[in-house]
């Protein structure tokens, strides 16, 4: 491969990695092309791509970016998965695929410029999806408003109940 081809690969890789929230490095030794295609297809809905690139070219592409912290880990036969969408959804797919395929071994990841170990990724994959978290937040916010309305309505409701009880008592006394 000549120098201009390598420069083009580095430029394309840098463009792809711009704005990536999550980047995970994984060894894929022994993984078949079919299984790699399955991984790529399952990651596509979460706006995640998997690329196999020479470590030196990946190192050049990540220099002066938040993903530059991965440089010490660029050793061996690696694939890089980078995400531009929901990092939790992508992590769930990666961890699930790694469990089913021992040839795919996640080494390290970077999330918003911070290093994450395989154990950290496992914890991240156990989080509920973004939609579920937003729904829970909305239910809490609506619950607080409902409780507030009930507290404000309690005093007039109590007064009405006392007046109704007094009226019922008066009616019973008049009937006797």
Structural domain boundaries in the chain: 3-127, 129-176
**DSSP category for residue 129:** P
Helix axes 55-62, 3-17, angle to 10 degrees: 50
**CATH number belonging to the domain at 3-127, selected among 3.30.70.1730, 3.40.50.800, 3.30.930.10, 3.40.50.300:** 3.30.70.1730
Beta strand extents in the chain (DSSP E only): 22-27, 48-52, 78-83, 105-111, 114-116
What CA–CA distance (Å, rounded) separates 53 from 44?
A: 19
For residue 132 the two structure tokens come to: 């579920």
Report how far residue 139's alpha carbon sits from residue 134's, in angstroms, rounded to the nearest whole number. Answer: 9
How much is the pTM?
0.71
pLDDT per residue as tens digits for the range 156-165 = 888 888 888 8
Over residues 1-59, the pLDDT tens digits come to: 788 888 888 888 888 888 888 889 999 888 889 999 999 999 999 889 898 888 888 88
């Amino acid at each position: 491969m000549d120098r201009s081809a390598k420069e083009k690969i580095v430029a394309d890789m840098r463009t792809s990695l711009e704005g990536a929230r999550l980047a995970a490095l994984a060894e894929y030794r022994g993984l078949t092309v079919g299984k790699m295609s399955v991984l790529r297809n399952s990651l596509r809905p979460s706006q995640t791509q998997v690329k196999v690139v020479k470590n030196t070219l990946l190192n050049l592409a990540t220099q002066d970016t938040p993903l530059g912290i991965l440089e010490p880990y660029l050793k061996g036969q690696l694939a890089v998965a980078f995400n531009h969408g929901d990092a939790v959804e992508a992590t769930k797919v990666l961890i699930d695929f790694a469990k089913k395929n021992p040839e795919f071994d996640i080494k390290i990841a970077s999330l918003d410029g911070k290093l994450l170990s395989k154990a950290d990724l496992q914890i991240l994959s156990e989080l509920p999806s973004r939609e579920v978290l937003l729904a829970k937040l909305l239910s809490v916010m609506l619950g607080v408003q409902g409780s507030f309305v009930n507290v404000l309505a309690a005093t007039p409701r109590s007064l009405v109940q006392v007046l109704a009880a007094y009226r019922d008592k008066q009616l019973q006394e008049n009937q006797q």
